[in-house]
Structure 1
Amino acid sequence: MFTIAIIGRPNVGKSTLFNRLVGKKLALVDDRPGVTRDRREGEARLGDLSFKIIDTAGLEEGDEASLPGRMRAQTEMAIELADAIFFVFDSRAGLTPDDRFFANLVRRADKPLILIANKAEGRAGEAGAVEGYDLGLGDPVPLSAEHGEGFSELYAAIREALPEETELPADEADEATRLVLGEDEDGSELDITKPLRIAIIGRPNAGKSTLLNTIIGQDRLLTGPEPGLTRDTIGIDFEWRGRKIKMFDTAGLRRRAKVEDKLEKLAGHDALRAAKFAEVVILLLDATIPFEKQDLTLADLVEREGRALVIGLNKWDLIENKGAKLSELREEALRLLPQVKGAPVVPLAGATGEGIENLMHSILRVHEVWNKRISTARLNRWLASALEKSPPPAVSGRRIKIRYMTQLRARPPYFILFGNQLDALPASYERFLVNSLRQTFELPGVPIRMSKKTSDNPYAGRKSRQR
């Protein structure tokens, strides 16, 4: 069993991460810095990995005889005992001088190191996580120890940092490959051993419960002509063509201004929560009255939460002139939902089973895209071509320079641009890059995140010298 030590300055969330990995609240956690003083050990589990984890005191500068100095000595001993190091920083607070000082300490340890950007939930945390590149300790792993987000990326980072210690037996490795690499180092974070989580959302009486009953072949959920029958979000486990699925039926969602009943409000919150924790969301529309304002609001919610989207056109058996109508609705989806351009639009009839096969195939396909990783080499070959065809505009007489880019993570695909003056990059040019990325690397139906990292100007803020 290998050992990993958690290192970082005070109050970056080391003990919260420790508790999450051991599955118990063994370490005291508080907003005040310096709660942990002694190092604490525990048995950690992450996926199929079992290892020893050491929680340490926050690194602080001080004389050897002082309390901070003695605490640091305990931490240095933990580093010596460990096979690898988690170096944690607070992505919301950003890098501090202490982070940079102690980064040099762990670098001198010459041990496998995983840089963790903790508290990375939300867009503010994601932006701060990018600062971790400045430490020169490798790619930061965005994580929220408190909310349990980002642990699949942490799993992959541990496997990469400690390949011999985490190697599975040959028979298990074939069954439980977590990071599948293909040609030119492209890859995927798809894990087919886990149930695929799908949520069905939509307006009341769109036919969500009927659709799920038809898919599983049982009258499992109450259905009827009355709108609003479903209140609780119900999760159903089943298999589809050998793939494990967990599908959630949710309450119909109306515009907030129309909701007065407290129970309907609670059911609506429950439905939105299911959509946030799903991997793929089916937005089920009534094909006779599609793309109303509430439908577009729900699609926008799915995009903001970073979920993969499939649009289901239910009650298709009631539509006349089906071919022309389908072309019209697909064009309308492209026009109204550019943020998830290319999302599959699938006609179906939940009551009869028409289109169910196409729906499930679209779900599996968009889930693969959502997990997709593109190699840095391919990304930068594409970037060079895109910049040559359409260079970014000049700002105040100086042209914006985009130097290179990389993919930070998948689920959904998240890319980072590096260069100069990127804060001034127009939103229109960023949309051009996103649309070109989507088309070139076949990323339909998933949100694409893009951050910008501007190189620091060492002369910024200095007064010019007069000669």
Structure 2
Amino acid sequence: MVATVAIVGRPNVGKSTLFNRLVGKRLALVDDRPGVTRDRREGRAKLGDLTFTVVDTAGLEESDADSLTGRMRAQTEEAVKAADLVLFMIDARAGVTPLDQHFSQFLRGFSTPVTLVANKAEGRAGDAGLYDAFSLGHGEPVALSAEHGEGLADLFDALDEAFRGIGIDTAPADVEADEAVVEVDVSDDDEGTEPTIDPKKPLRVAIVGRPNAGKSTLINEMIGEERLLTGPEAGITRDSISVDWSWKGRNIKLFDTAGIRRKARVQEKLEKLSVADALRAIRFAEVVVVLLDAMKPFERQDLSIADLVAREGRAVVIAVNKWDLVEEPQPVLKELRTECERLLPQLRGVPLVPISGMTGKGIDKLMKAVSDAYEVWNRRVSTAKLNRWLEVSTAQHPPPAVSGRRIRLRYMTQAKARPPHFVAFCSRPESLPDAYTRYMVNGLRDAFNLPGIPVRLTLRKGDNPYASKKKKRS
């Protein structure tokens, strides 16, 4: 059994800094301003020979239940209920505040055991607050500095003792690393064979789009619980949060991301960090769902996001959210598909699925499109089939003659999958027009059924077997 430890406390006491320290990576966004963290975020932590799941939470604040901070507090309460142990963190330099006292009493309403942590205790500035922490009645506080890594040995002793006290085995467990941050090997198998798709390995799916497109609402509806913070305010999500889910027996890891605005509008440091986190989620995903708002589809930023995903080489599915608000679905859907083909020629044939994140309508169709796109993304084509296609294709539409000399395409093979990457050898690759390259890419899509995914085509010059002889003669 792997223990779950939730880090809670008022805003700006260093919860996310400790979270990053324990997981060994900069997963959670950290900034000087309070209230950066909103959703609860999980990660695999290792401290000495202790391995456990650590949960970063939003800062506890007193507010109305319907407000944004009230909904953030509700998320923290759920994390406390689900945890085996709570690390209640205070700021040793600020001392015990009335808010600390209030939430100390609040935690007594739960059956989850509490370990008190006094952060920012480096130097003498935190001594007074450290001694003051005894007044909270949660036992001896653990003095540490999450930013500088001081006091972790004391934290290890406190966690080890707490785990033994609640009957959790402290032996190290063989757990997988957090897939949100560990680079995954997407190298391909030997040419001519299909890549092995392990059905037990979670399929990584990132949901991206403009702010307020309904990404968090969609994921909550998928998993059947209010796991992610939602509301009418735009830009609620800041961190990229991963959620495990199972669809028809298939393990899925969903990534909720912050809304991506136009680069010129992103001025604040915190939003830049959120967008960078979203872009990282795209890079580590296998399939990316680009979520559009049915009331404002295919805006300029939507097209920029889809093009970014294509350039990253991910499999793409376009979902049109808020479809329950569309009055004439069939004509609108037909028009949207036409617009999609016109505006995104680099993703010709990309699946476009109407859905409603609020009601759950269309989620099965969306996941079927995700599964199909993943299979196409992994597809390999044998060299023999490619060269038969190349022979027919060039016979029907020969490459143009440049400076009176015909360009010869001699040979083609697939170098990689995920996405499919083809290499064509020709006599003068630098002279082949871009229009003919596009003709070849579109031909590959049609001939080998590669719709809606990025297709790479590299031109190389073949070795001239007579080059050495010419040098000898001269």
TM-score, scaled relative to structure 2: 0.59
Gap change, CA 1:253 and 1:426, over 3 Å in 2: same
In structure 1, C-alpha distance between the alignment counterparts of 2:440 and 2:463, rounded to whole Å: 23
1:408 maps onto 2:412 in alignment:
no
User: Which residue of the partner structure matches residue 339 of structure 1?
Assistant: 346
Q: CA deviation at 1:435?
A: 0.3
In structure 1, C-alpha distance between the alignment counterparts of 2:202 and 2:442, rounded to whole Å: 31
In structure 2, C-alpha distance between the alignment counterparts of 1:249 and 1:399, rounded to whole Å: 51
1:153 maps onto 2:160 in alignment:
no
User: Which residue of the partner structure matches residue 284 of structure 1?
Assistant: 291
Q: 1:243 aligns with which of 239, 246, 250?
A: 250
1:317 maps onto 2:324 in alignment:
yes
State the Cα deviation string for residues 80-115 of structure 1 (Å, max 9, x = none): xxxxxxxxxxxxxxxxxxxxxxxxxxxxxxxxxxxx
Helix, strand or coil: the match of 1:197? strand
In structure 2, C-alpha distance between the alignment counterparts of 1:267 and 1:304, rounded to whole Å: 20
Q: CA deviation at 1:461?
A: 12
Q: 1:441 aligns with which of 435, 448, 456?
A: 448
In structure 1, C-alpha distance between the alignment counterparts of 2:184 and 2:219, rounded to whole Å: 30
Gap change, CA 1:210 and 1:193, over 3 Å in 2: same
Q: CA deviation at 1:400?
A: 0.7
In structure 1, C-alpha distance between the alignment counterparts of 2:203 and 2:438, rounded to whole Å: 30
Q: CA deviation at 1:399?
A: 0.8
User: Which residue of the partner structure matches residue 281 of structure 2?
Assistant: 274
Q: 1:220 aligns with which of 224, 227, 233?
A: 227
1:368 maps onto 2:402 in alignment:
no
1:418 maps onto 2:430 in alignment:
no
- What is the root-mean-square deviation of aligned Cα atoms in Å? 2.2
Q: CA deviation at 1:465?
A: 7.7
Helix, strand or coil: the match of 1:206? coil
Q: Is the 8 A contact 1:205 1:228 kept in 2?
A: yes
Q: Is the 8 A contact 2:290 2:319 kept in 1?
A: yes
Helix, strand or coil: the match of 1:257? helix
In structure 1, C-alpha distance between the alignment counterparts of 2:196 and 2:400, rounded to whole Å: 35
Correspondence 1:164-175 to 2 at 5 A: none
User: Which residue of the partner structure matches residue 303 of structure 2?
Assistant: 296
Percent of aligned pairs sharing the same letter: 56
Q: 1:254 aligns with which of 239, 261, 273?
A: 261
Q: CA deviation at 1:462?
A: 6.4
Which structure would you say has the larger Rg? 2
State the Cα deviation string for residues 39-75 of structure 1 (Å, max 9, x = none): xxxxxxxxxxxxxxxxxxxxxxxxxxxxxxxxxxxxx
Q: CA deviation at 1:417?
A: 0.4
Correspondence 1:57-206 to 2 at 5 A: 151-153=185-187, 156=189, 187-206=194-213
1:382 maps onto 2:389 in alignment:
yes
In structure 1, C-alpha distance between the alignment counterparts of 2:469 and 2:276, rounded to whole Å: 48
User: Which residue of the partner structure matches residue 430 of structure 1?
Assistant: 437
In structure 2, C-alpha distance between the alignment counterparts of 1:341 and 1:460, rounded to whole Å: 44
State the Cα deviation string for residues 173-213 of structure 1 (Å, max 9, x = none): xxxxxxxxxxxx66344332311101011011000000000
Q: 2:461 aligns with which of 450, 454, 461?
A: 454
In structure 2, C-alpha distance between the alignment counterparts of 1:425 and 1:439, rounded to whole Å: 21
Gap change, CA 1:375 and 1:346, over 3 Å in 2: same
TM-score, scaled relative to structure 1: 0.60
Q: CA deviation at 1:464?
A: 11
Helix, strand or coil: the match of 1:220? coil
Q: Is the 8 A contact 1:303 1:340 kept in 2?
A: yes
In structure 1, C-alpha distance between the alignment counterparts of 2:405 and 2:247, rounded to whole Å: 56
Q: Is the 8 A contact 1:286 1:315 kept in 2?
A: yes
1:391 maps onto 2:398 in alignment:
yes
Gap change, CA 1:463 and 1:418, over 3 Å in 2: closer
Q: 2:336 aligns with which of 329, 341, 357?
A: 329
In structure 1, C-alpha distance between the alignment counterparts of 2:391 and 2:458, rounded to whole Å: 18
User: Which residue of the partner structure matches residue 314 of structure 2?
Assistant: 307
In structure 2, C-alpha distance between the alignment counterparts of 1:348 and 1:389, rounded to whole Å: 42
In structure 2, C-alpha distance between the alignment counterparts of 1:349 and 1:151, rounded to whole Å: 34
User: Which residue of the partner structure matches residue 72 of structure 2?
Assistant: none
Question: What letter matches 2:321 in structure 1?
Answer: N
Q: Is the 8 A contact 1:187 1:375 kept in 2?
A: no
In structure 2, C-alpha distance between the alignment counterparts of 1:452 and 1:426, rounded to whole Å: 11
Q: CA deviation at 1:245?
A: 0.6
Q: CA deviation at 1:405?
A: 0.5
In structure 1, C-alpha distance between the alignment counterparts of 2:443 and 2:183, rounded to whole Å: 29
State the Cα deviation string for residues 420-446 of structure 1 (Å, max 9, x = none): 112211110010010011011110111
Q: Is the 8 A contact 1:189 1:410 kept in 2?
A: no
Q: Is the 8 A contact 1:189 1:372 kept in 2?
A: no
Question: What letter matches 1:204 in structure 2?
Answer: P
Gap change, CA 1:274 and 1:432, over 3 Å in 2: same
State the Cα deviation string for residues 251-307 of structure 1 (Å, max 9, x = none): 111112112222111111101110111010010010110111111110110011000
Gap change, CA 1:408 and 1:463, over 3 Å in 2: closer
Q: Is the 8 A contact 2:186 2:418 kept in 1?
A: no
In structure 1, C-alpha distance between the alignment counterparts of 2:278 and 2:311, rounded to whole Å: 16
Question: What letter matches 1:412 in structure 2?
Answer: P
User: Which residue of the partner structure matches residue 214 of structure 2?
Assistant: 207
- What is the total number of aligned residue pairs between the two structures? 293
Q: CA deviation at 1:148?
A: 8.3
In structure 1, C-alpha distance between the alignment counterparts of 2:264 and 2:350, rounded to whole Å: 28
In structure 2, C-alpha distance between the alignment counterparts of 1:395 and 1:148, rounded to whole Å: 47
Correspondence 1:14-33 to 2 at 5 A: none
In structure 1, C-alpha distance between the alignment counterparts of 2:288 and 2:184, rounded to whole Å: 20
In structure 2, C-alpha distance between the alignment counterparts of 1:197 and 1:152, rounded to whole Å: 12
Gap change, CA 1:238 and 1:149, over 3 Å in 2: closer
In structure 2, C-alpha distance between the alignment counterparts of 1:425 and 1:461, rounded to whole Å: 27
Helix, strand or coil: the match of 2:187? helix
**Structure 2: runs of 5+ lacking an equivalent:** 1-180
